[in-house]
Structure 1
Amino acid sequence: MTPDDPASGAGDETDDDSAGAFAGGDLLESIVMVMSVLLIVGVLGYLVSQAIVTPAAPEPTTAIEAVEPFPKDGAGTDTVRVTVSLANEGETGLQSVEVLVRCGGIERSLVFSHVPANGHRTGTVICPQGTTPRASVVTWIES
């Protein structure tokens, strides 16, 4: 009898055992391959979405938060303390923001440093009493 002869049972037994062992290995290999492909596709999808979506530009805005009486200055002039708020509504932080406060004919300048994205800062200037303070953003530098 030859190993190719169907009457011989020795050749069939070794083929069945090795086929069963490889079938389990093939299944594990297929699972690992599918998981790897899914992971690669997921990472590439995330990278593409981050490349397409750009953060919103910073939009610093100012407002006069409070105007309070302040003791007379050295020249005997009545003054007020003006609290100015700065809000960064953008998704990018700001390294520096310059705010100009106009009190009638007088101008005061405030510089805010390190304003985070969606952050808030306040500052104070002294203005003559009887003036209406107005604040505006002059310049800013993104982080």
Structure 2
Amino acid sequence: MTSDEASETDVSDTDDDTAPEEVIAGGDLLEAGIMVVSALLIVGLLGYIASQAIVAPTAAEPTATIDSVERMPPESPQAGRVRVTVGLENDGETGLGSVEVAVRCGSVERSLVFTHVPARGHRTGTVICPRGTTPDADVVAWIEA
């Protein structure tokens, strides 16, 4: 056997094709693992986004209350009437652009409009009512900011 024949035999007897296949198989396993982790990450992120879209902050209804009723001084032009202080509470997670409150004083009705009420905010306003009436306040309408 000549040296040329021996080198050809050595080359053909060695199984060089198996070494790259083993490396590729290991690489395939790594690639598959990365794909699974990536897919789980994407599904988790999409699930989180969907849950946040479904569970949007709900706006609590604003409430109006009568904070105080004071007699007007006798020397004022409004003598014989009372000053009614109305409180507005926005307990919601969202600010309000405008809120209309109706204040009933017996048969007389007054209207207050509050603007730019922040989330979890409080505003006050006053109206003048006839003496001897029991004022009552209710929120009529509101617009979220």
Same fold (TM over 0.5): yes
State which of 33, 41, 44 in structure 1 corresponds to 2:43: 41
Q: Is the 8 A contact 1:58 1:94 kept in 2?
A: no
Greater Cα shift, 26-35 or 118-127: 26-35
Q: Which letter maps to 2:19?
A: D
Counterparts in 2 of 1:28 and 1:116: CA distance versus 1, 3 Å: farther
Alignment identity in percent? 61
> What corresponds to 2:19 in structure 1?
15
Over alpha carbons, which structure has the higher Rg?
2
State which of 81, 100, 103 in structure 1 corresponds to 2:102: 100
Could you tell me how far 1:50 is from its partner in structure 2? 2.7
Aligned length: 137
State which of 121, 138, 142 in structure 2 corresponds to 1:136: 138
Q: Distance in 1 between matches of 2:138 and 2:67?
A: 13
Q: Which letter maps to 2:62?
A: P
* Deviation readout 1:60-102 (Å, 9 max, x if unpaired): 2211112234434643613433221122344443221111112
Stretches of 4+ aligned residues off by more than 3 angstroms: 18-23, 25-32, 72-76, 89-93, 116-119
Q: Are 1:62 and 2:70 an aligned pair?
A: no
Could you tell me how far 1:54 is from its partner in structure 2? 4.4
- Is there any run of 5+ residues in structure 2 with no aligned partner, and where? 1-8
Q: Is the 8 A contact 1:95 1:115 kept in 2?
A: yes
Q: Distance in 1 between matches of 2:75 and 2:25?
A: 92
- Is there any run of 5+ residues in structure 1 with no aligned partner, and where? none
Q: Distance in 2 between matches of 1:93 and 1:104?
A: 32
- Secondary structure at the aligned position of 1:95 is classed as strand
